[in-house]
Structure 1
């Protein structure tokens, strides 16, 4: 015990000595608990993580880069000389972590904090500057590939352009000079207040996640406070709209959407969107939230059920300064029932043929474990609830069923397997591989199909994990048609445990929590869902590429691989001839259907915006860009014939025409095409 105390004291002295070189008395220090947790975490990663890699100099370099990236990914604060001074730690962090030595991490963070404070002082001193918006100059909004500033003067010039860009955006929206000064001053005063609130737990959590994410992106550490919230499934949660927030440099990022919540139901809020503004009610002023702590953002978004909040979002993958979007949401109480599947019946007429189609939206894969024990024949679960909905749809005489799995991030693996059994007559659904090549083949327990009619499944880039297992099984068995976007590509299994569980004897001390990867998923064909996910049979246009969003965008993601296929028998409800016919019809509508034309236009515009790495700081140039975009949007309605023009001489059912969701509408029409193709085949 005495040796540990002496070691801890020496480490604290080392931090103080290192920070004293910077002539400051305001520094954060690690605690003894942090040192203990660091040692436990390194042992967990070494012995129980799926990825069998050594914590050595090579991994130390990755941890080093992760930590710098997490602090200053856009290179707005550190100087080139700072980075050079940190290089002495690049290949030593592995040994430091094994010993619980956190001096380097806290030393780097304290310099980072000092640099932020210096930049905020500059921003507040120049928030009211009169900028020359007629000058032809540009601002680099994405500085990831740019060098660090060599001097304070270079940082001053960078921040002059930061302020000018923000002032120009406000001016283009109609703000006066006085209002611009007020908004920028308020923004940076709040930012400054948040920096002052940084504590040693913040530093430790950031550094530990720089370590854990070197193993894979789904392995994370939570401090005791955040661990408690995580276990309650409300970590930094926005209870009013059903979202989970996390700090991401100067931004607050949405890391999870709660199935059934207002944000999820809107279809306009996505994982990894960043909240840059909040307004209360329909007419409230939009308050910029860049630089706010995520708990403060959460506090502003929470509110009584039935009240309205407007969010300004920077879309996932977009660079700082790219075009934002405004989403209006009505707060609501989030409960388990909101995650339940729901169904609707769509009546439509296509080429003189009437169709009655059932649509089941499945937001999540869940089960009530307690009810499963007490009421094994009637417990709440995705499978049981979908089964009831199918029975009801069949009673209404539907010709086919579509399952909407968009934005379904997964959930209970058991339920993905069980629900597959509603549509296939038993057999393997998924394979799971553990360390040491131990493999399990998980079968559906069904012996016959509950529903054997025409089926299609719609997925998008935000369909992940258990959703991919279900969609993959339907595709591999050739049971139904998969439509939409390529899915996320998360083919790994995680386990959550408190660090106290790894101690030989309890000390009564409150420690944090670890979520770490223990296995990988594989389809019945032997292909991993990692990276590749599920590629739809009929692919819709998407704004999210695999390289920009999803598992493949994560440098530390486990690789794709393949194992032996299981013994399964395809049902052949779908064949190449049918898919070729459906693709032809889909491609024709892509050229004529106005909703699909509008969708493609919006996607192209957003891709252009996201691809921009710099923007003009000239008022006239930016104003013209805005006007040109509005003109292109107005002109798009003349690009192709509208649906009403195409079907003017047909008997239409308004229920289909009323659908404003282009993905949903096209999926329903593909289901009708599939039914027709099935009749011809039969």
Structure 2
């Protein structure tokens, strides 16, 4: 998924190193020549080869300007109206500037942004010296994306007074003392202040190119060198490194998790909570201190070529800042990202005296190691291959049905979506693609017989997009299985990745990559998932807000349309079972206390979100909190992953590592009400099929 969130929000959530910061302004950032060249080269592709080419003119220029400003200050709490007025005088000049390789306009805006961040954070820290009056009846609006920009410094000050007051009140309601609150918030704002001094030109350029590409199409992206590398890792599910998950905490890069079987875990030299203070390359290269260095830069220093050596200066978890360090050497190796791969579980569903075994395969993404496949590696990694293996295991386990869990699966390889469909449908057409020239191609799978012929269900939510929708739609059109959940995202377009350096015949990478929309896909029945997504056969409650998440939330999304259906033969008649399955589902969840509590929690979360404002009055907030706790106490609580009762007021990096991991584990171990119900629906289908024999 694209990084569309404000840089301001990003650095509030990350704790960089602490250092004395008494200077008045952050460094002035300027564009590099290669960035301006990359922007012009991208424009050439975007205006000529896109599915729906958009000319780089004054109209697009104005859209780019608006999106760029919104990416920096989405809640309109940093810039003043006077800033916006000044920026907009250049709103129709960006197109010409890109063509002549001049990026001074976005960089000048970003430099003002940095100054505003510094000013607001210094003001926020000064507010902590006073005491707040929580007896006053006032509120703070959380939904400010369409609010007027502050007209004056005084209006901005009042806005930030309420914002800081809200942060203080959250901690106060969590039982923190005034001294602890002051210290916590001072460190939070100081970290944010320091972050403004660590931005580089690459950050500005990436943000600007995001604004440009999304103004053309919601799913067109620009990847700088690092972003391109991360995309490649996400598709092949592997990287070369030491096998450690890192996090910035309390001014240090900290070991959050060790990957089983990785060099770090096998060495026995590292533990969760250890802090990396220096990195050296090779067996005798100098060790560079990294306290205060950005996490992404440290990650790049630790990754490298297979079998090469990296040395780490470690401050152990159990010692203070002045404790003894130790220097360790690790040999880099290929790390498989198993947590992002397909995985299975078996659920036991009781139906009277009988018990059905339902297999559940969770697929986080449609991954594929393109390079290994292209080279003919017989053991290349892919989603469909992994699922085929899991289906074989579930057959051995004698399960009665299989649920494919595609919740929050944003897509990936189109080929993998086709091949995964073949595992359940067999040989036949899966998806249609219409290119910019209007020609339609049909994607088919050639698997002679399905790998799984029993009952199948597909669990989707609003985060299920692209390849997930191709698979779910094909299963639905073939009548092969039941689709359960909430309407999917609605992304019905196809992208290809263009290596700009290859296009420019560069010997070394410097321009990055462009993910360009080149086609629209259609179901075998002729419809498209574009905009409308896949409508489930049986609806389950969802947490998302369709107004802000999904294809329909984009102002430049392609409309829904349809083409001629392809010649295909439905393999099953799921429609005949649906009325009975819905009836059984309705009756079951009506009497399922866990499911009804989940419905209540979802309704509560939606009500909180739609309210849009929070009271800054202590009595009112305490009453709200007491009412919520009373409601939860009145019932036997269920850990459904939606914690509505407690709020410690802290950000993740402000808790102890053990507390943060405990919260994460509690969410992982929460009862999955929706998956359980999807499995129960499959058990019902198995019963119906058995009754027909």
Measured after TM superposition, the shift of residue 33 of structure 1 is: 2.2
Equivalences for residues 506-525 of structure 1 within 5 A: 506=506, 510-525=510-525
Measured after TM superposition, the shift of residue 600 of structure 1 is: 0.4
Q: Residue in 1 aligned with 2:486?
A: 485
Q: d(CA) in 1 for partners of 2:240 and 2:203?
A: 18
Equivalences for residues 446-485 of structure 1 within 5 A: 446-485=447-486
Pick closer, same or farther for the CA change 1:511–1:423 going to 2, 3 Å: closer
Q: Residue in 1 aligned with 2:537?
A: 537
Matched-pair contact (CA < 8 Å) for 1:455–1:481: yes
Measured after TM superposition, the shift of residue 680 of structure 1 is: 4.1
What is the CA deviation profile of residues 283-323 of structure 1, one whole-angstrom value per residue up to 9, with x for unaligned ones? Answer: xxxxxxxxx97749999xx999xx99xxxxxxxxxxxxxxx
Q: d(CA) in 2 for partners of 1:138 and 1:515?
A: 43
Q: d(CA) in 2 for partners of 1:130 and 1:237?
A: 51
Q: Residue in 2 aligned with 1:605?
A: 604
SS for the counterpart of 1:160 is helix
Q: Residue in 2 aligned with 1:672?
A: 683
Q: Residue in 2 aligned with 1:399?
A: 400
Q: d(CA) in 1 for partners of 2:524 and 2:172?
A: 57
What is the CA deviation profile of residues 481-503 of structure 1, one whole-angstrom value per residue up to 9, with x for unaligned ones? Answer: 11122222222222223322232
SS for the counterpart of 2:502 is helix
Q: How many residues align?
A: 571
SS for the counterpart of 1:608 is helix
| Residue 662 of structure 1 pairs with residue 642 of structure 2 | no
Q: Residue in 1 aligned with 2:276?
A: none
Matched-pair contact (CA < 8 Å) for 1:194–1:293: no
Q: Residue in 1 aligned with 2:282?
A: none
Matched-pair contact (CA < 8 Å) for 1:226–1:235: no
Q: d(CA) in 1 for partners of 2:247 and 2:432?
A: 30
Q: Residue in 2 aligned with 1:127?
A: 128
Measured after TM superposition, the shift of residue 201 of structure 1 is: 2.6
Matched-pair contact (CA < 8 Å) for 1:229–1:235: no
Pick closer, same or farther for the CA change 1:140–1:356 going to 2, 3 Å: closer
Pick closer, same or farther for the CA change 1:509–1:391 going to 2, 3 Å: closer
Q: d(CA) in 2 for partners of 1:361 and 1:24?
A: 48
Measured after TM superposition, the shift of residue 209 of structure 1 is: 1.4
SS for the counterpart of 2:140 is strand
SS for the counterpart of 2:444 is strand
Matched-pair contact (CA < 8 Å) for 1:128–1:180: no
Pick closer, same or farther for the CA change 1:590–1:92 going to 2, 3 Å: same
Q: Residue in 1 aligned with 2:622?
A: 623
Q: d(CA) in 1 for partners of 2:203 and 2:516?
A: 20
Task: Return 5+ residue gaps in structure 2 as ranges.
Answer: 1-23, 249-258, 261-271, 274-292, 304-311, 318-333, 639-668
Q: d(CA) in 2 for partners of 1:638 and 1:36?
A: 58
Task: Return 5+ residue gaps in structure 1 as ranges.
Answer: 1-22, 246-259, 262-279, 282-291, 309-332, 640-657
| Residue 169 of structure 1 pairs with residue 180 of structure 2 | no
Measured after TM superposition, the shift of residue 114 of structure 1 is: 2.1
SS for the counterpart of 2:430 is strand
Measured after TM superposition, the shift of residue 373 of structure 1 is: 7.0
What is the CA deviation profile of residues 551-603 of structure 1, one whole-angstrom value per residue up to 9, with x for unaligned ones? Answer: 2223333333222211112223312x421111112122222101101110110
What is the CA deviation profile of residues 516-548 of structure 1, one whole-angstrom value per residue up to 9, with x for unaligned ones? Answer: 222222111122222222211111011113323
Measured after TM superposition, the shift of residue 627 of structure 1 is: 1.1
Pick closer, same or farther for the CA change 1:242–1:673 going to 2, 3 Å: farther
Equivalences for residues 209-358 of structure 1 within 5 A: 209-233=210-234, 295=296, 335-358=336-359
Q: d(CA) in 1 for partners of 2:64 and 2:138?
A: 37
Q: d(CA) in 2 for partners of 1:243 and 1:551?
A: 33
Measured after TM superposition, the shift of residue 211 of structure 1 is: 0.7
Pick closer, same or farther for the CA change 1:200–1:414 going to 2, 3 Å: closer
Q: d(CA) in 2 for partners of 1:236 and 1:114?
A: 37
Q: Residue in 2 aligned with 1:439?
A: 440
Matched-pair contact (CA < 8 Å) for 1:589–1:596: no
Q: Residue in 2 aligned with 1:427?
A: 428
Q: d(CA) in 1 for partners of 2:459 and 2:230?
A: 32
Q: d(CA) in 2 for partners of 1:405 and 1:450?
A: 19
| Residue 565 of structure 1 pairs with residue 565 of structure 2 | yes
SS for the counterpart of 1:73 is coil
SS for the counterpart of 2:574 is coil
Bigger shift: residues 130-139 or 386-395? 386-395
What is the CA deviation profile of residues 57-94 of structure 1, one whole-angstrom value per residue up to 9, with x for unaligned ones? Answer: 22112111101101111111111122122222122222
Measured after TM superposition, the shift of residue 386 of structure 1 is: 3.0
**TM-score, normalised with respect to structure 2:** 0.75
Pick closer, same or farther for the CA change 1:181–1:585 going to 2, 3 Å: same
Pick closer, same or farther for the CA change 1:295–1:161 going to 2, 3 Å: farther
Q: Residue in 2 aligned with 1:592?
A: 591
Q: d(CA) in 1 for partners of 2:246 and 2:683?
A: 35
Q: d(CA) in 2 for partners of 1:662 and 1:120?
A: 42
Bigger shift: residues 658-667 or 438-447? 658-667
Pick closer, same or farther for the CA change 1:295–1:214 going to 2, 3 Å: same
Q: d(CA) in 2 for partners of 1:479 and 1:418?
A: 15
Pick closer, same or farther for the CA change 1:346–1:125 going to 2, 3 Å: closer
Q: d(CA) in 1 for partners of 2:571 and 2:297?
A: 53
Matched-pair contact (CA < 8 Å) for 1:77–1:112: yes
Q: Residue in 2 aligned with 1:99?
A: 100
Q: d(CA) in 1 for partners of 2:167 and 2:297?
A: 22
Bigger shift: residues 342-351 or 111-120? 342-351
* Root mean square deviation of aligned Cα: 3.6
Measured after TM superposition, the shift of residue 357 of structure 1 is: 3.0
Pick closer, same or farther for the CA change 1:119–1:387 going to 2, 3 Å: closer
Equivalences for residues 490-505 of structure 1 within 5 A: 490-503=491-504, 505=505
**TM-score, normalised with respect to structure 1:** 0.76
Matched-pair contact (CA < 8 Å) for 2:456–2:682: yes
